[in-house]
Amino acid sequence: MSVIEKKLKDRSGSICELCSYEHDLEVYNLPPDAADTLENSVLLCKNCKDQVENVKPTDPNHFRVLSDSMWNENIPVQVLSWRMLSRLKSEGWPQDLLDMMYLDEETLAWASATGEGTEEDENKIIHKDSNGNLLFDGDSVVLIKDLDVKGANFTAKRGAAVHNIKVVWDNADQIEGRVEGQHIVILTQYVKKTK
């Protein structure tokens, strides 16, 4: 168990900080900052984490628990609650909760840093890896296929790690990163996000 996980378990009482489930707990670092710190992390059950990361479809009824977690005293839990309510606001009831929720300017800027809650949500460009995990600037990925790099005369090998990626903001299918010292554009369908 990592130091962060132990501190999160102490903070939460060893339950999911969104739904209070007691089993299959994992640390989740809030994007876009991938730092593994107490101030940037929440403890989630696998079910909540998979839905937050879009690994499986979001079940709006599961997240009715946000009416409690949105009042949590810990800022990362408030931020994640706000993001999930924003994602679900088309359901109706989440908008009522968002209207009641107060975040100071700095916290609201952090909460909306991933694009959740913007008016153009339906037009928002979202980058996802081959497994459907959200990709953000600064993430690390691994290539899942050998890729011929056009104009550079080398093949980026399967399993190669690409750290500190940059997403191409006008194309959901592309990210940029360094492979073998070369700055290249990579299709998101050929990468897998690493923790």
For the chain, which domains are there?
Answer: 3-121 (no CATH), 141-193 (2.30.30.40)
pLDDT one-digit tens code per residue, 41-93:
999 999 999 999 887 788 999 999 999 999 999 999 999 999 999 999 888 89
Pairing of strands 174-179, 166-167: antiparallel
Where is 148: in which H helix or E strand? strand 147-149
The residue with greater pLDDT, 98 or 151, is 98
All residues at 6 or more sequence positions from 188 whose CB lies less than 8 Å from its CB, including other chains: 127, 128, 129, 130, 135, 172, 173, 174, 175
State residue 92's pLDDT score.
Answer: 86
Q: How far is CA 46 from CA 18, 95, 135, 169, 185, in A?
A: 11, 25, 19, 29, 32
State residue 1's pLDDT score.
Answer: 72
pTM here?
Answer: 0.62
- Alpha helix segments (H runs only) across the chain: 3-12, 46-52, 66-69, 75-87, 93-100, 105-111
The whole-angstrom separation of Cα 158 and Cα 186 is: 12
The tokens for 35 are 């730092």
- 3-class secondary structure for 158-178? CCCEECCCEECCCCCCEEEEE
Please say whether the beta carbons of 125 and 141 come within 8 A.
no
Place 33 in a pLDDT band, splitting at 50, 70 and 90.
Answer: confident
The residue with greater pLDDT, 118 or 98, is 98
Q: What share of the chain in percent tops pLDDT 90? A: 59
State residue 122's pLDDT score.
Answer: 55
The tokens for 14 are 């060893």
pLDDT one-digit tens code per residue, 125-142:
788 899 888 888 888 999
State residue 142's pLDDT score.
Answer: 94
State residue 117's pLDDT score.
Answer: 65
The whole-angstrom separation of Cα 59 and Cα 94 is: 13
pLDDT one-digit tens code per residue, 173-195:
999 999 988 899 999 999 999 86
Judged by DSSP in three states, 188 sits in helix
The whole-angstrom separation of Cα 121 and Cα 181 is: 36
Mean pLDDT of 29-46: 88
